[in-house]
Structure 1
């Protein structure tokens, strides 16, 4: 009696398990639909796997979705068709994984493919045992074969993926070397390039990165056509099965007479939709491959087209020739021979799959060639195709690949144009206006005066963002400044720091000496932005309590000096590289306050404008490196991340158009990239060229502020100003 009661209670829980299966199937379906929508939106008809990819998350979800197919207790007639749907759902889902193999590194490809193989093998063995015992295997034999072949196709592509990436990287490096030689002048120092010239300069690397994207290469490989064929057969099989069931039961056949109850209906609905959605990407990739091949498909070149390139089976050849450590057990020769024959068999299977795939592509090309010719004749805009420079020669191809059609390369270039437009929508308008204050870069020689006595024999290294944050804190603490000016300053600095940190992260990411300094800048800016505080000092309150800027500077400088001195007297850490961020920020505040006090006898508005000009000069000097930032993004990164990196460079180009144009109007010092990226090199340049002494006069005149210009005579006659350079 207790056993019967327990079984009854468990049966009541089965609809909830069915709902769980339906939910897992729905997540997979939605992810595949999102990839399809994203592919159509971006006009990438090879459908990159942005959401639904071969990873542990979706492998787990697919395992849950197969629960009904693995259930040996569900035998009602409505569950049979649901089990068939589950098998085909898994088969078609695997075909969507093909392009995602390009975005996964070798170790994860192996582990994920093994996990998928275990899942598929479990389903196949379970279904086979179940229906052999019931003598009903005939109904499921075709879906099981399709599932097995889908797995074999995916494993075949995964086995070739490492060698394909190596060959792809070699082709990219060769193309990159040639392109770099063409653009050597621009790569060395291209600050003189206009926006259009820079865009053409970057477009070459964009085409190279986009066409060498491993996901795109996997999606356009001929083996994907085999996945498309299997998917199409699977969809047809499922359709026939539903028609047969419908005719047999004279209407709707989803009766709710199983332990899963009404949840069977939702499992069927989600997985049917999933099968349809999962067929979109493979069929589209098949059409893409055929469209690439149809231009070169002819009987005279058929033997060349049927040649199987080495990278398809090279990893297996390497594995076959590798000796095993098991030879020390005394059976080394036997084990090696067994391995040799087994791997040779798989090499034969791999070559056979490739030959069948290539043959299918050739047949498709001949059959669909007239259709593609009509499409190009009636729907291709000739005026658009002849407009602008052609970048087809920069496309990176694997050995044996067909040339990409010009329309594909044009669409790739249009994608870059769209990214530039997207970047323009995020242009920092306030920052562009703020940068216009900079005319002479002289603020870099003034904000940290060399004759200010140091608090320690060694100074911590400086970065771009810390002086900007420190100067912003000082400007916000100056009394008698309208609130509107403070808000404009805050927003301008916020926009400027985003680009400043981009320069530091891209060009100075390997400079570990600046880690604590950048941490100090981030710490200070967070407090200023959120709480209007410089550590424990309420700068808003200080601006209200101090009678003028001189008093504020003395008070702020004193607090900063106290923080540094207390640390030096209480800590045994004397190396500035090991100072905590709080102390580095305090040392910067002390030195900059002391430097600003040299002209603090101006009125508060004048001091505020002078500090703003200094910030503008510092940021403008930093932004001279934006061209180099975009160059680095275009030419350096891992193969899986290269396209994303170059795409980000195009967005930055659109975002910083006004900034770059404003900075290009200035006269740049003669420094190479390695020196120009460091703020200390700029300071040293101004000091060595003797421009610090005259910097105040020129900057006051260049600042376009009449009130500041009136102060020239008073500042230059001030005996406390260090006119003599060391």
Structure 2
């Protein structure tokens, strides 16, 4: 009799025995006692049927984590950041949930007669978790205080849950025991050495204990690093502000030439890259220690995989997960190998970036613990008045210092290897070149002794130049053509609107840069006797120009008074550019084909006047319509007064179109004289985590607009107050009465 019989088959067997052999009642009762366990076995088999698919779900969750780590590797290689910042694989609610799914084997304490592959799968999950934790360490630096606390607590709960479950499994021998071996040995003593075919009990127990210990060590490293991050970010932000102010003092002397802007962008790029919170965290000895732990875990897991290759070929997986256990083991083993690359590379990359005589002395002074490691704990201690709490925090301070010292000692392993390799390669790592002395002054480091290597500064300088060159490949050629061919100065800013009074309006009207550009463009493209290619060329030029005009407005005119007008202009431009309409009216209406240009302009003025009078401004869209209509009324009346009767024949329509194009070019040119100030503004951000992206945008913007800036500066910029250059009404006042 075996447990492979179903309940019905067993009952039929009992019936046959009773009928054929007339068994006594006590024997019949004894046989019937086995019905219940057989039934339970049948139910367990039924309930465990979907377990292989759950195994695939675990493998899929593991694969998501692996792909995110691979994405970070590719991002680091592409951006030449061999310390591999965390961009995709991050510690947040989503990924913590995915990681919990990937670790289901460790929280699953069930399992009947597990095989060697099943045991290796549980060991592989522990190794994979260690690797993922080491990969997640730098992303702690991107979080605020509350987010950091929340995620560390969530990670702690996850790790403690895994550790407790594995400990229970060790105690109940679910992880460390292969049940069929002792059964075989009892049945036939000649198979006493069969245990040597797979993972032995003692070896399995030892590996599980090592992995559990490493999980706890990595959790402690995360907590210790989090305490240091809070203070280190403040130190870096303080130094960033000091160097930013120095850079502003240097650039504000004289005209903001392209060369000055390039140097300003480069200085801020050095600050952004060297002061990146993830880069600073990657420099921690705790990060180096986690890299060494990763290497150790990978070696252990590689040995484990070599031990169970034969078991895998023999399909020795007997748990409910069945064949999916082999899938989980393979996927997570690949994750262990791939996931080791980033933490281990950080150990060597950071040292190669910063190696110098000073850093050598700093590394060998392992028993010095910098103040930022314990600053937060001392703040908590001084804020507490309870004796027990102060004693607890004092213990935490000592423990924190001990962890830092141990991590520094561990980090000497990759440091010594790096020094040896560089020495063997005869690399010039100890030179103190003064080639980049000016750039070195803008490098941000937690400690003054930890300076960037010369080649690192050269790499950063080269990378920002490449960003500028990349921007040069995307120059707005149509806009540049319009400025060169149509703009002869800035007089268009003065003459596009010289009406002495507004049409009576329910909202206060004032100009911004983009609204008159859009209004003039709407009139120009509605003229019926202008060739299509000229209209298309103007639209392309305005489309490119408004991108930079909007940048000027958003960065230099972002006051409440102007935002409503700018939003109205943006909405109107979408209507003109995409739908070829103005406030719902078609710009190329068939009715326009047979009437004079003067009548078209008059129609715009009259329609605009009616909209201003009739619109209900209680709605936001009505306010926008009223602002756009007021602008159209003033500009159309100005055009009629300027050109008078010469507006009607074909030749003069072309002249009018050219004059409108010239006004548009002049207005955008005046606005774009503020591009240097926009680039300076974009270089600086109060949030250190966003500084890299902000400077990168500024570098590309500088590359795109270099020719525009040079052209406008060569033509001469009015000697206005620099603070007035970003406002169109200040320009009009200056040009009207210089």
TM range (shorter): 0.7 to 0.9
- Hey, what does 2:623 align to over in structure 1? 580
> SS of the residue aligned with 1:318?
helix
Counterpart pick for 2:173 among 134, 138, 141: 134
Structure 2: distance between partners of 1:302 and 1:407? 20
- Hey, what does 1:352 align to over in structure 2? 402
Deviations 1:137-170 (A, max 9, x none): 4341011111111111111101111101111112
Deviations 1:607-648 (A, max 9, x none): 111111111111111111110001111233311111211111
Deviations 1:174-228 (A, max 9, x none): 3333343444415xxx34x1x3332123211221222111111111222211111
TM-score under structure 2 normalisation?
0.85
- Hey, what does 1:391 align to over in structure 2? 439
- Hey, what does 1:283 align to over in structure 2? 344
**Alpha carbons of 1:547 and 1:359: their partners in 2 closer, same or farther (altered >3 Å)?**
same
- Hey, what does 2:328 align to over in structure 1? 267
- Hey, what does 2:147 align to over in structure 1? 108
Whether contact under 8 Å (2:276, 2:689) holds in the other structure is yes
Deviations 1:86-143 (A, max 9, x none): 1111111111112212211111111111111111111111111122122734341011
- Hey, what does 1:70 align to over in structure 2? 107
- Hey, what does 1:683 align to over in structure 2? 732
State the 1:13 CA deviation.
2.0
Asked whether 1:593 is paired with 2:593, we answer no
Deviations 1:56-100 (A, max 9, x none): 121111011111221112352222211111111111111111221
Asked whether 1:176 is paired with 2:244, we answer yes
Asked whether 1:450 is paired with 2:499, we answer yes
State the 1:353 CA deviation.
1.6
Q: Matches of residues 488-637 of structure 1 in structure 2 within 5 Å?
A: 488-509=537-558, 511-541=559-589, 544-567=592-615, 580-600=623-643, 601-602=646-647, 603-637=652-686
Whether contact under 8 Å (1:35, 1:52) holds in the other structure is yes
- Hey, what does 1:228 align to over in structure 2? 291
**Alpha carbons of 1:257 and 1:513: their partners in 2 closer, same or farther (altered >3 Å)?**
same
Asked whether 1:433 is paired with 2:470, we answer no
Whether contact under 8 Å (2:363, 2:408) holds in the other structure is no
- Hey, what does 1:343 align to over in structure 2? 393
- Hey, what does 1:198 align to over in structure 2? 261
Deviations 1:535-576 (A, max 9, x none): 220002168435232111111111111110112xx5579xxx
State the 1:364 CA deviation.
4.1
> SS of the residue aligned with 1:97?
helix
- Hey, what does 2:305 align to over in structure 1? 242
**Alpha carbons of 1:622 and 1:90: their partners in 2 closer, same or farther (altered >3 Å)?**
same
> SS of the residue aligned with 1:159?
helix
- Hey, what does 1:701 align to over in structure 2? none
Whether contact under 8 Å (1:92, 1:275) holds in the other structure is yes
Counterpart pick for 1:38 among 63, 69, 75: 75
Count of residue pairs the alignment pairs up? 661
Asked whether 1:59 is paired with 2:108, we answer no
State the 1:532 CA deviation.
0.7
Whether contact under 8 Å (2:58, 2:104) holds in the other structure is yes
* Bigger Rg over Cα: 2
**Alpha carbons of 1:550 and 1:261: their partners in 2 closer, same or farther (altered >3 Å)?**
farther
Counterpart pick for 2:231 among 140, 150, 163: 163
State the 1:295 CA deviation.
2.2
State the 1:683 CA deviation.
1.5
Asked whether 1:98 is paired with 2:129, we answer no
Structure 2: distance between partners of 1:387 and 1:47? 27
Structure 2: distance between partners of 1:542 and 1:521? 26
Whether contact under 8 Å (1:452, 1:594) holds in the other structure is no
Structure 2: distance between partners of 1:113 and 1:585? 52
Structure 1: distance between partners of 2:166 and 2:482? 70
- Hey, what does 1:704 align to over in structure 2? none
State the 1:297 CA deviation.
6.2
> SS of the residue aligned with 1:540?
coil
**Alpha carbons of 1:374 and 1:478: their partners in 2 closer, same or farther (altered >3 Å)?**
farther
Unaligned runs of 5+ in 1: 324-332, 690-726
> SS of the residue aligned with 1:403?
coil
Whether contact under 8 Å (1:69, 1:83) holds in the other structure is yes
Whether contact under 8 Å (1:220, 1:288) holds in the other structure is no
- Hey, what does 1:696 align to over in structure 2? none
Whether contact under 8 Å (1:477, 1:543) holds in the other structure is no
State the 1:300 CA deviation.
6.9
Structure 2: distance between partners of 1:304 and 1:128? 38
Asked whether 1:654 is paired with 2:703, we answer yes
Whether contact under 8 Å (1:520, 1:582) holds in the other structure is yes
Structure 1: distance between partners of 2:225 and 2:355? 23
Structure 1: distance between partners of 2:119 and 2:413? 37
Structure 2: distance between partners of 1:616 and 1:245? 74
7-16 vs 555-564, which moves further: 7-16
Whether contact under 8 Å (1:468, 1:618) holds in the other structure is yes
Deviations 1:212-253 (A, max 9, x none): 111111112222111111111111111121122236x3x635
Structure 2: distance between partners of 1:196 and 1:668? 17
541-550 vs 89-98, which moves further: 541-550
Q: Matches of residues 630-645 of structure 1 in structure 2 within 5 Å?
A: 630-645=679-694
**Alpha carbons of 1:298 and 1:319: their partners in 2 closer, same or farther (altered >3 Å)?**
closer
Structure 1: distance between partners of 2:148 and 2:735? 54
Structure 2: distance between partners of 1:524 and 1:299? 62
Whether contact under 8 Å (2:499, 2:637) holds in the other structure is no
Q: Matches of residues 359-508 of structure 1 in structure 2 within 5 Å?
A: 359-362=409-412, 364-375=414-425, 377=427, 391-399=439-447, 401-436=449-484, 437-456=486-505, 459-508=508-557
- Hey, what does 1:720 align to over in structure 2? none
Whether contact under 8 Å (1:516, 1:579) holds in the other structure is no
Whether contact under 8 Å (2:362, 2:449) holds in the other structure is no
Structure 2: distance between partners of 1:306 and 1:400? 18
Structure 2: distance between partners of 1:423 and 1:375? 37
Whether contact under 8 Å (1:297, 1:365) holds in the other structure is no
Structure 2: distance between partners of 1:254 and 1:180? 68
State the 1:429 CA deviation.
0.9
**Alpha carbons of 1:482 and 1:182: their partners in 2 closer, same or farther (altered >3 Å)?**
closer
**Alpha carbons of 1:543 and 1:599: their partners in 2 closer, same or farther (altered >3 Å)?**
farther
> SS of the residue aligned with 2:284?
coil
